[in-house]
Structure 1
Amino acid sequence: MRTGDRKKKRREEAFPADFDDRIMPGDDLLPDGFVPEETPEEPERDSSRRRTRHQETAVRDISRSLMEGADIPEGSSSRPGEQGKHKGQGRRGRRPRSRALTLIGNIFKFILIVLLVLIIGGGIFAFFQVRAILKNAPEISPAQFIPSEAATYIYDADGKREQKLTLPEANRDLVSIKDIPKDLQHAVVAIEDERFYRHNGVDPKGIARALVKGLKSGHFSEGASTITQQLLKNSVFPDWMKETTFRQRLERKIQEQFLALKLEKMLTKEQILEDYLNTINLGAGCYGVQSAAYRYFGLPVSELSLSEATVIAGITQNPTAYNPITNPEKNKKRRTEVLNAMLRQGYITQSQYASALADDVYARIQDNESKVDTTSTIYTFYQDALIDQVMQDLEEQKGYTHQQAYKAVYSGGLRIYSAQDDDIQQICDEEFENPANFPSGTEVGIDYALSVEDKSGQITDYGNEDLRVFVRKTNPSFDLMYGTAQEAKDGAAAFRASVVKDGDTVLGERVTVAPQPQASCVIIDSATGLVKALVGGRGTKEASLTLNRASYTQRQPGSTFKILAVYAPALDEAGKTLATVYKDEPYNYEDGTPVKDAEGTYAGDVTIRQAIVRSINVAAVKCLTEITPQVGFDYAEKFGITSLVESKTTDGGTFSDVGQTLALGGLTYGVTNLELTGAYAAIANDGQYLKPHFYTQVLDTYGNVVLDNTDPEPRTVIRDSTAALLTSAMRGVISDPEGTAYGKIELGQMAAAGKTGTTTDYRDSWFVGFTPYLTCGIWAGYDNNAPLPDKDTYHTYSKTLWNSIMSRISQSQTISAFGMPSDVVSVSICSDSHMAAAPGCPNPYTEYFAKGTEPKNYCNIHGDGSPVDQTQQQTDGISPDAITIYKSDQATVHTQTPDAADGASGSAGENTGAAGPGGNQGAAGNTGGASGSGSAGGNTGVAGPGGTQGTAGNTPGGSGNPAAGTGNAGGAGGAAGGGSGSTTGGTPSGTGNPAGSSQQGGQSTAGGSSTSAAGNAQGGSSQNGVIQIGGNQAGSGIQQGGSDKDVIEILNNIPPAQ
C-alpha cells in the first residue's frame, strides 16, 4: 500500500462518517428546517483540516462538560486516556502542542529577523555615525606632541639656575629621551602599557582584558588606553576632563584610537615615549619627568636610580593619591607594583628588585622637601624688572602681543640669562637693611585696598584715600604713616570693621606695610649698559611684582636733570664751555614765577663749572633759555628718558615738558631711577648711550637665540669731549668744599663724579654718580610724596647710602682715574676775566675745553687781550694712555706712562704750555730754557686743578716757583726726575741721585736712566710726572692759583714712591 493510501485510511478510521453527528451536542439548537448548505467537495487536504477543527471543538466541549459535571456525549470515553487506546487518538491529543512549538518557532524566527534587521540597520547607522565622528577628528602633526608649555628659568652669569617662572599647567622641563634613564622608561612602560613596543597604537588584548574585568566586577574602572592614546588625550584632547556625557566620551575614545593608529605611523616609539614623559602630570604641580625629578629628589632626571625612577612611575595613575610627599605609603605600595611588573616582564633582575625594595627612598624625598625654598616663588625686585623687560622686548622686537609675551615668559620654556652680579647685589641688599644708612625714627607706611560686596550684589572698592579720610576723623594730620607695622595693621582692621556690614562679603583685601622714608638703587656697568644690581625698596618683599621704586615709580629728578637737559646740550652743540659765565641773581620764569635756589642767596657771576658744583638754579634756567627748552628736551630724550611729555591735553589743560622748568627737573610725570641712572651711564661711557638691560640673552627650549644683548649697539648722545668735560665738573660736586656732596662721598683712591638732586621741600632726594666702572643712582623719599623733615640725616641719606654701597664695591676693583680724550685741551684762565690768563693775572686756574672752544684772547683786565698762541696749549695730562692704577692691597703706585711728547720751544720757559692736571710744570719744549733760568718761571706751567705735575717734555720748561728757576717751594713733579742742574733760585745742582730718583718727586723710570745727576732734569718724563694727580706726595704742591676746587685730590694720601 502506498504511503498516501495508508495516510488516507488512517484519517478515515480516526474520523468516521458520523463523527460530526456524534460530537456536535448543540444540534438541537439549530432552527427547524435548517438544511446545511451543501459544500462542494474539497481536496483531501482541506477536508482533513476541517475535521481537525471539529475534533478540537469536541475536545474543548468534552473538557468543559467534565468541568461542569455534564454528561459526556455518547461515544466518548469517560476515562482520561481512553481515546489513547484507539489507533491514532494519541497523535491527535499531542497535536495542539506541536502547533504551539511552531508558533514559538515562528516568533523566534521573527525576532531573529528583526534583530538581524536591527543589527544590519544599526551597523549601517553606526558606520555613518563613526564615519562622521572620524571625519571631525582633529588633524595631527608630529610637532604638536612636543609640549608647547614649559617652565622658563632665569640663570645667573655663571649659568646657575636662579628662578623658575611658570604657570600651574606649564611646570615642566623638556628633556630628551637620551637623558631619561632606561630604568624610568621601562618602569613607565611596564606599569602603563606592557605591550607598548609591540602594538600599533591600540591594544586589543588590553581592551579585551578591561572588558572582561568590567563584566565580572560590574564597573569598568580599568582603562585600556595605550601610552600613544594617553599622549593624544593629553595633547590633542586637553579638555577631556570636562566631558559630562557618555556620547562625548565615546566620540573622543573613537577619535583617540583612530588617531593613535595614525600617530604610530608618524613617530617612532622613542619619540612617542619622549613626548609622553615630558607631558604627564606627576603631582605636586609637576608636569614631565624632569620637573618631577627636581621636585622630589633635587636631581636632574638623568641621575635617578632605579628605586627613584619607580617612585615617579608609580605616580602616573593618580598624581594626587600617589604623591610621594603627601602620601608616601600609597606611593610605596604602587612602587612595589611597578617593580613587580618590571621583574615579571624581564626589565630587571631579582637582585635589582630586592635592592630597590630595600632602598629607603622616601627618607630622601622628605629630606629634599625640607630644603625646598618655599619663598622662592617670590621674585626679587631685580627679577621683577627683568621679567617686565623681557616681555617688553618680545613685544617691541618680535611683534608679540602682550598676551603672547606673557605666555612666552611664563610657559614658553625660555632660558633667560641675567646680567645681575650676585656680589654687588648682596652688598646693595645688606646696605639697604642697615639702619645706619637711614634716618632714625623710621615710620611705617601702609598701602591698603579692600573690595566688598553687599547683599544686593553691589561691589565697593576702598583704597588709601578712604583709609586716610577715616583716620583723619580722629587724627587730622594722618598721612598714611604709622609708628609700627602693627599699628598700621590695626588701623586697617578698624577701617574694615567700619565699612563691612552684616551680610557683606569681603571679596579681597590687601594690607602692605613698608618702612618710610623709602629708597631705591640701580647700578649699571657703564661700558655695557647691563644692570648689575637693583633694589626696589626697603623692607621685606612679600610678593612678586609689587611696587618697584627703582624701575617703575616715576619721581621728579630735581637738579640731576640739569646735566642732561641743560649743560650737556650747552657744551655739546651750543658753543658753551665750563668757563661760560652766568650771573646768579634774582630771576623769573617767563610767567613771572621767581627762580629760587635752595639757600635763597645769590652768588653773582658763576661759571658753568661752578653752577654744576654748587647746583645753582638761576644759571641753569638762564642757560636752558638761551639754548632753548626744545633742544634740552630733545637731548633728554636722546639720553633715554621716555616719560617726557612734549604736549598733552587733559582735563581742559595742556601739559608740556618743553619749558624753562625742564632745567630744574620739573616734569609732568617724573622719571624712573632706572632711566636716570642709564642716562648718567652714557656720560660715564664717553657719551655713548646703551639702554639698560637686565639680561644678556634669552634662548628658547632648543637653545635658539630669541633676544640678545651680548653686543649692544650704542647710540651717540654727546661727543666724548662733552662727556669728559661734564665728568670733570661733576668731580667737583664730590671733591670741592663748595660741592653739594662734599664730605659725603669717600671712595678712597677710586675716582668718582656725580650730581645731587632735590625737589621742592625735599620731597625727593637723589644722588647719581659714577666711577670709571659703574654708575649708581639712589633715590630717597616718602612713598606718599611727603616732604623729608629738615632734621637729622633726612636730607642727606641718599648720598650716605650711595657711599656705603659704592665704597664697598670699589674695594674689590682696581683703582682708576677718569680718562680725557685727545680733543680736550687745558688752558690757564684768569679768575676775574675768565679769559686766557696773562702773565699778570693774580689767581689763574686751569680749565678744560673741547678743541676749538678754548679762549682766543688773553685777559684784558691784567693783560692786553692779545690773541692766544694756540700752539702753546696743552692737552690734558689725564688720558686713556696715562692712568694711575692703585690697588688697595698694595703700598706702591704703578704707573703706565707713554713716551713724553715733544713740546713747543719756548724762550726761558716763559708760558711754555699750561700745566696738565697733575701739577706745576708745563710741557717743556725740546729747546726750552734750562730749568730755573727762565724769566718769571713761576707762571710757567701754572698748576692744573688738583695735581702736582704736568706732562713732562724732554727738558723741563721751568718749575712752578714764583721765583725764577727751580725751587723746593713749588715741589713740582718736573723736579722729580733728578733735580735741576741749575743753582739759580732753587735746589743746588745734583740733588737727584745718579739713578734719576728725586728727593722731591717720585721714582723715575722713563727719564731717570741717566747716570748723571741732572739726567732727569734734562731727560725724559718722571714716572709720576704725567699721571700723579694731587695727593700728599712729598714735593708736590699747588702754586700760583693752581687749585680749582672742583678737581682736586682724586688720589689722596698715596705714599711717596721709594
Structure 2
Amino acid sequence: MNYSENGVKKKAEALRCRSVRISKKVQVLFLRLGFLLLIGAFFYMSYLGYRYMHSMIDEVPNVKTIELVPTGKPTLILDDSGETVRTLTADDINRSYTMLDQMPRNLQNAFIAIEDSSFRSHEGIDSVGTLKAFVTGLTNGGNFSQSSTTITQQLLKNQVLTGGEEHDFASRFKRKFKELYMALSLENRYSKDEILEYYLNTIALGQNTLGVEAASMRYFNKHVSDLTLSECATLAAIAKNPVSYNPINHAARNRNRELLVLTAMQEQGLITSEEYEKAIEDNVQVRVQRYNEEYVKDKNPTSFFTDALILSVIEDLKKELGYTDTQAANAIYTGGLVIKSTQDTNMQTVCDKELNDPKNYPSNVKYQLNYQLTIEHTNGILESFNFSDMKKWYEENNKPIKSYFKSERQAHAVIAPFRHHVVTKQDTVIAESIRTIIEPQCSFVLMDQTTGEIKALVGGRGEKEESLCYNRATAATRQPGSTMSVLSAYLPALDTSGITLGNVYDDTKYNYPNTEQPVNNIYKDTYHGLTTERDAIKNSINVVAVKTLDQVTPHVGYSYLLNLGFTTLVDGYSDDTGHSYTDISLPLALGQLTKGVTNHELTGAFATIANGGVYHQPHLYTTIKDKDDNTLIDHTMSTSKRVMKESTAWLLTDTMREEVAEFDSGSVKFGSSDMVIAGKSGITTDNNDLWFVGYTPYLSAGIWCGFDGNRSQKNGNYHKLIWKNIMEKINSRYETKNSFPAPEGIISATICTKCGKLAIDNLCEDAVGGSCKRVEFFTESTVPTDSCDCHLRCRICKSSGLLAGDGCPEADVYDVVYLQKKDEAAGEGKTQDSPLIMPEYLIDSICEIHNASR
C-alpha cells in the first residue's frame, strides 16, 4: 500500500473523479427522465386538447341543418299578474328577402369594404386578425370581443350562435372556437354570393328593420335595387351599431361613417374618384330626415309601454348576455321568449283613458302639421319637401302661415296650393305623408317606489300609428324647471352640507357670482327677503336655490344627480364653434340644462325620495325566459343603492307634502280620501313645460305636458288635474294613509323663520308683518342652539312716532318688534322684508316732545 503523501493525494483524486462521474450519470439520468416526462406530458396534453377540441366539434351544429334565415317562434309579453298582453312575431319587424342579383353591386361592395375587405379571398376567417385577437384575448382574461370578425362569422353570430353563453374564459373560448370552426365549414358548403346574400338579408339596420330591403324602404322609401352609391354607403354605415349610427336619430355620426365607407371603397378600387366625389356631395341624411315620415301606418302598433320594454330588452340582451343587435332582434321577434313585464294592466288602462280624454285639456287645442312629399322629375332626380319648405313658400308669397292650426281641416287646407306649385304634370309623386299631431302633448310614468317597477307608461296622446315611435316618456328630454332644485341643490344641502330646512337665505336681487347675469325668480321683480329653505322649496324661489347650490357646489349637486340615475346630463363638451357646454354650473339649481331630462328618469329620482332615500333602477320587466323556459335575465331583485340618508328623504317629503297641502290641494289632493301626497311642480318660461312629480305612500308618478315645439301655454294647471284623476283612481285600491311617518332621529324645534335660530317667546310672534315662529324638523346633530337675534322690540311714542324715552307717558307708548337686517343684505331693491325693517329715522332718535330736556 502506498501511504506516501503523493499516494494519498492520488487516491483522493481518484475517489473525487469517481464521485463526479457518478454525479454526472445521475444528472444525465434525471435529464433523460425529465425529457421523457415532458414528452409524455406534451403527448398527454395534446391528447386532452384533441379530446377537448373533438368534444367542442361534436357540439357544433351541422352546417347542413342550420337555418340561416330563421322562421322563429313568437315571443310572449306578460303583465305583472302573468297574463299575456302582447304577442310579438316576425310580422312585427320589417323584414323582406331579396336575391343578391337584385342588390346593386355598390351595396355589396360598400358592406364588404367597411366590414370585411378580404371577404372574397379568405376562407371564412381572417387568419392574421384572428391570431392577434386570440393572443389579446388570452392576455385579457378571455375577452375575445376585439376579435377580427368576417362577414361569414357575423352571419353565424347573428343567425346561429345565441348570446348569453360567455360567462367565463372557458365558455368564451368555446364560443369563439365554434364560431371559427363553423365559419370554415360554412365556406365549404356555400358560395361567397350565397353567404353575402344571407348576410345582407338578415343584418339589423336600425328602426326595427332586418335586411337591406327593409332598411331601404324604411330610410329611403325605395327598393334596394334603386339605391344610389351614397345611399348604399349610408346603409353600410349603420351596420357598426344600428342604434348609434342610424341616419334618423344620429345623422352626424352616420354621415361621418358613410364618408369612411366611401373612402374605403375608393382605396380598395371599388369605385372611381369621380364616383367618390359625386357621392360625397350628396347629403343623404337630409333626405332621410324628410323621408322619415313617409311609410305606411302600422295596423297593429305596439303600446308605448311595450315600445319601451322592447328597447330595454334589446339593450339588456346586448349588455348582459353579449348579444349582437341582430341576435337581440331575432330573439325578440322570432326567439320564443317569455318576458314578464312590470305592467299593471288596470293601472295602464286608467292612464291611457285619462291622458287621451279631451276634457282634461284646454279647449283651445292646436294641431301640428307633419307634411312630407317626395317627387321624381323627368330627369330622374328626386326632390323632397316638408312643412318647413311649405311655410317658407307661403312667406315668400306674403301669405305666412302659423306652425299650429286650430283644426285638422285648417291644417289640411294649406297643402293643396303648395302641392300645386311644386308638382308639375311631368313629375311623379314617389311618396306623400300627411299627419296632424294634437297639441299640447303629454307623457306619464307610474312607478312602485319600493321596487323600481314601472306599472304604467304613456308616451303621448292621440292615436298611435306605429310601433317604436317617438316616446315622450323615455326619449323626450325637456327642461325640468323647479323640480330639479329639490334634487340638485336642496337634497345635497340637507344630506351632506349641514344645512337644515330652517337655514335662512336672503331672497333679493342677485347675480350669478362674477357675472352681470341676474338670477330671476318666477315672478321676476318679486323678492321675499329672508327665507328658510323650507319656504324656498315650497315657493320655488330661484335665488335661494342658486345660493344653496353655490354653497353646496355644483360638482356635489351634479354627483347626486348621477347617483339618482340621470343619464342625459352633460359634464362638459365644446361644439365646432368652440362654445362650451356643461351642466356642472349654478343654473343646474333651476333645471337649466344642456339637453334636459326624461320623465322616466325624473320620476325615478323622486321615487327614491319616496322610498326613504334608496334608489331602485326603474325597470319594465322582471324576467326573460327562452323558449325552453331557461331564465336568461332576472331583474326580480332590481339594482338598488342608498343615495341619501333616510332623514334627508323624510325632510324633503315633509316639505313637499306641505307644498301640496298649501298650494296644490285644489288641483292635486284627492276628493274621495285623505290620502297623503307629496310632490313638486316644475314650470319653465312661458309655461313651455309643465311638470308635476309626486307620490303617495304606495306609488310615484310624473306627468309632463307641453308642445313638442316648445310653444307657450296660457293654462298652467291642467296637468295637475290629470295627475290627480289618475292617481286618485289607482290609489283607491290601497288603504288610506294620511301621513308619512318620520324615521328615528327626527327632532322638532320652534324657530324664527327670519334667522333660523330658536324663537324667543313674546318676541318673534309679535313681529311686524305677523308671527315668525314655526315648528321645524331637524336631525339630532342639526338642531339650532342659539336664540333669535334678528328681531328687536322697540318702544314707540304715539305723539312723536319716535323711540319712547323715559319721559314719555306709559299711556302714549306701544311696542313694535322690528326686523334687524344689515344694509348690505337689503339688496339694491325692495323685498317683502322692507316694510318689516326698523326705519332709519328711528335709529338713535328719541321723542323730543316728552324728552326735550334730555
TM-score, with length taken from structure 1? 0.47
Q: Is the 8 A contact 2:609 2:653 kept in 1?
A: yes
Match of 1:702 among 628, 635, 639: 628
Q: Give deviations 1:842-868, integer Å, cap 9, x for gaps.
A: 35321111231121334446899xxxx
Matches within 5 A, 1:615-764: 615-652=540-577, 653-736=579-662, 739=663, 741-747=664-670, 748-764=673-689
The residue aligned with 2:723 is 802
Matches within 5 A, 1:1015-1026: none
Flag the 1:149–1:788 CA change in 2: closer, same or farther, 3 A: same
Q: Is the 8 A contact 1:417 1:697 kept in 2?
A: yes
The residue aligned with 2:391 is 468
The residue aligned with 1:854 is 783
How far 1:523 sits from its partner (Å)?
0.8
Q: Is the 8 A contact 1:151 1:170 kept in 2?
A: no
Q: Give deviations 1:539-576, integer Å, cap 9, x for gaps.
A: 11122122211111111111111011111111111111
The residue aligned with 1:608 is 533
Determine the C-alpha separation between the residues in 2 that align with 1:497 and 1:546.
31
TM-score, with length taken from structure 2? 0.58
The one-letter code matched in structure 2 to 1:846 is: V
How far 1:441 sits from its partner (Å)?
1.5
Q: Is the 8 A contact 1:163 1:376 kept in 2?
A: no
Q: Does 1:438 align with 2:367?
A: no
Determine the C-alpha separation between the residues in 2 that align with 1:569 and 1:145.
55
SS at match of 1:588: coil
Flag the 1:382–1:854 CA change in 2: closer, same or farther, 3 A: same
Q: Is the 8 A contact 1:838 1:862 kept in 2?
A: no
Matches within 5 A, 1:471-620: 471-473=394-396, 478-590=401-513, 591-600=515-524, 601-620=526-545
Flag the 1:504–1:850 CA change in 2: closer, same or farther, 3 A: farther
Determine the C-alpha separation between the residues in 2 that align with 1:598 and 1:159.
47
Determine the C-alpha separation between the residues in 1 that align with 2:735 and 2:398.
55
Determine the C-alpha separation between the residues in 1 that align with 2:70 and 2:324.
21
Q: Does 1:836 align with 2:761?
A: no
How far 1:603 sits from its partner (Å)?
0.4
Q: Is the 8 A contact 1:746 1:803 kept in 2?
A: yes
After alignment, is 562-571 or 646-655 more displaced? 646-655
Q: Is the 8 A contact 1:412 1:700 kept in 2?
A: yes
The residue aligned with 2:744 is 822
The residue aligned with 2:774 is 845
Q: Give deviations 1:665-711, integer Å, cap 9, x for gaps.
A: 11111111111111111111111111211112111111111222211
Flag the 1:145–1:763 CA change in 2: closer, same or farther, 3 A: closer
Q: Does 1:166 align with 2:166?
A: no
How far 1:778 sits from its partner (Å)?
0.8
The residue aligned with 1:775 is 700
Question: Of the two structures, which has the highest relative contact order with CA contacts closer than 8 Å and spacing of 6 or more?
Answer: 2
Determine the C-alpha separation between the residues in 2 that align with 1:465 and 1:558.
30
Determine the C-alpha separation between the residues in 1 that align with 2:340 and 2:603.
22
Q: Is the 8 A contact 2:624 2:634 kept in 1?
A: yes
The one-letter code matched in structure 2 to 1:500 is: V
The residue aligned with 1:154 is 77
Q: Is the 8 A contact 2:625 2:631 kept in 1?
A: yes
How far 1:413 sits from its partner (Å)?
1.6
Q: Is the 8 A contact 2:530 2:755 kept in 1?
A: no
After alignment, is 545-554 or 851-860 more displaced? 851-860
How far 1:656 sits from its partner (Å)?
0.9
Q: Give deviations 1:745-781, integer Å, cap 9, x for gaps.
A: 1223101011111111211111111111111111111
SS at match of 1:801: helix
RMSD: 2.9
Matches within 5 A, 1:423-434: 423-434=346-357
The one-letter code matched in structure 2 to 1:405 is: A
Determine the C-alpha separation between the residues in 1 that align with 2:321 and 2:708.
35
Determine the C-alpha separation between the residues in 2 that align with 1:454 and 1:762.
45
The residue aligned with 2:821 is none
Task: Name stretches of at least 5 consecutive residues in structure 2 with no aligned partner.
Answer: 1-60, 96-158, 161-184, 190-296, 766-770, 794-854
Determine the C-alpha separation between the residues in 2 that align with 1:498 and 1:403.
44
Determine the C-alpha separation between the residues in 1 that align with 2:494 and 2:635.
31
SS at match of 1:489: helix
The one-letter code matched in structure 1 to 2:756 is: H
Q: Is the 8 A contact 1:588 1:595 kept in 2?
A: yes
Determine the C-alpha separation between the residues in 2 that align with 1:705 and 1:468.
54
How far 1:593 sits from its partner (Å)?
1.5
Q: Is the 8 A contact 2:298 2:465 kept in 1?
A: no
How far 1:644 sits from its partner (Å)?
0.5
Flag the 1:419–1:798 CA change in 2: closer, same or farther, 3 A: same
Determine the C-alpha separation between the residues in 1 that align with 2:754 and 2:532.
11
Determine the C-alpha separation between the residues in 1 that align with 2:453 and 2:419.
45
The one-letter code matched in structure 2 to 1:854 is: V
Flag the 1:149–1:568 CA change in 2: closer, same or farther, 3 A: same
SS at match of 2:343: coil
The one-letter code matched in structure 2 to 1:447 is: N
The residue aligned with 1:938 is none
Determine the C-alpha separation between the residues in 1 that align with 2:351 and 2:630.
34
The one-letter code matched in structure 2 to 1:779 is: W
The residue aligned with 2:118 is none
The one-letter code matched in structure 1 to 2:783 is: E
Q: Is the 8 A contact 1:639 1:689 kept in 2?
A: yes
SS at match of 2:414: helix
Flag the 1:605–1:393 CA change in 2: closer, same or farther, 3 A: same
Determine the C-alpha separation between the residues in 2 that align with 1:376 and 1:697.
29
The one-letter code matched in structure 2 to 1:597 is: N
Q: Is the 8 A contact 2:617 2:639 kept in 1?
A: no
Matches within 5 A, 1:52-67: none
Determine the C-alpha separation between the residues in 1 that align with 2:571 and 2:376.
43
SS at match of 2:555: helix
Determine the C-alpha separation between the residues in 2 that align with 1:717 and 1:659.
21
Determine the C-alpha separation between the residues in 2 that align with 1:784 and 1:811.
36
Flag the 1:501–1:545 CA change in 2: closer, same or farther, 3 A: farther
Q: Is the 8 A contact 2:341 2:621 kept in 1?
A: yes
How far 1:476 sits from its partner (Å)?
6.2
The residue aligned with 1:122 is none
How far 1:171 sits from its partner (Å)?
12
Q: Is the 8 A contact 1:733 1:753 kept in 2?
A: yes
Q: Is the 8 A contact 2:443 2:599 kept in 1?
A: yes
Matches within 5 A, 1:304-315: none
Percent identity between the two aligned chains: 40
The one-letter code matched in structure 1 to 2:717 is: T
The one-letter code matched in structure 2 to 1:576 is: I
The residue aligned with 1:387 is 310
The one-letter code matched in structure 1 to 2:555 is: Q
The one-letter code matched in structure 2 to 1:777 is: G
Flag the 1:621–1:416 CA change in 2: closer, same or farther, 3 A: same
How far 1:442 sits from its partner (Å)?
1.1
Q: Give deviations 1:769-825, integer Å, cap 9, x for gaps.
A: 111111111111111111113xxxx21111121111112222222112212111222
Flag the 1:660–1:833 CA change in 2: closer, same or farther, 3 A: closer
How far 1:622 sits from its partner (Å)?
0.9
Matches within 5 A, 1:178-327: none
Determine the C-alpha separation between the residues in 2 that align with 1:509 and 1:705.
46
The one-letter code matched in structure 1 to 2:779 is: A
Q: Does 1:766 align with 2:691?
A: yes
SS at match of 1:582: strand
